[in-house]
Amino acid sequence: MRTRRLSTMPFFIIGILFLILFGTIAWGVFFESGWVTSFDLSWIERIQGSVSEGKTSFIMKITELGNMKLVIVLTIIIAIVLFFKRKYAEGLWFGGTILFCAAIGGKILKKVFDRDRPAFLQLIEKTNESFPSGHATATTIFYGLIGLVLVLAATEVWKKFVVGFITLAWIGFILITRIYLGVHFPTDVIGGFLYGIAAILLSMGVYLVVQEPLRNLLRKFKLNDQSETFERSRG
């Protein structure tokens, strides 16, 4: 994982903007605003308007690729691989982002909002809190982190565009499956997406700030970190 001459400010600024957008959606959901209800009903009708047995069977399999449990398992595997390669700082950053932002942060938000699931056509059964979508949060942060690193590491503009497009298309598809299956309102998945993007960008900004102190700390524990750390420019 490598890129060069990154400034922290764009990550913090854009991350905060996405956090504000999440807050706007969350405010409407918490106070059950009319625009939230209208928006949700409109898009549920559109997305669930063409339900079929074959499509449902396919989507039920694909949607599990955004399952929080699977994401945690994949994160552990990636962290172990990074540690094996002595990329301790990157492993801690990647694993810590998933743990604190996706798993813990997402769960806390669900408890705070305690929103009921849609009472419409549910093609699979889910009973826990609805907002923000755990699938949307986990999918956005996990695949978004990988996509962001690849975009930053790419040297050609067209490669950055292709990787960014594929990443967003994949995340968007997983999000739509949750609405199709009737287990989330559209604002649930949008909220999870906005929160996830904010978490990714803010996490990257924090990592750029603490990368050198972290590497110095690792040296005190006799861990020769070989992370190809992101170089940070001033600003």
Interval 64-77: pLDDT, tens = 898 899 999 999 99
pLDDT of residue 233 exceeding 50, the answer is no
The question of whether 135 is a catalytic residue gets the answer yes
pLDDT category at 229 given cuts 50, 70, 90 is low
pLDDT of residue 56 exceeding 80, the answer is yes
pLDDT of residue 112 exceeding 60, the answer is yes
Q: How large is the average pLDDT for residues 36-45?
A: 93
pLDDT of residue 50 exceeding 60, the answer is yes
Identify which of 46-60, 162-176, 200-214 has the greatest average pLDDT: 162-176
> Annotated catalytic residue: which of 110, 117, 135, 178?
135
pTM of the model: 0.91
Residues 6+ apart with CB under 8 A from 77: none
pLDDT category at 215 given cuts 50, 70, 90 is confident
Taking the C-alpha atoms of residue 79 and residue 137, their distance in angstroms, rounded to an integer, is 19
Taking the C-alpha atoms of residue 76 and residue 95, their distance in angstroms, rounded to an integer, is 7
Taking the C-alpha atoms of residue 24 and residue 121, their distance in angstroms, rounded to an integer, is 27
> Annotated catalytic residue: which of 87, 115, 117, 184?
184
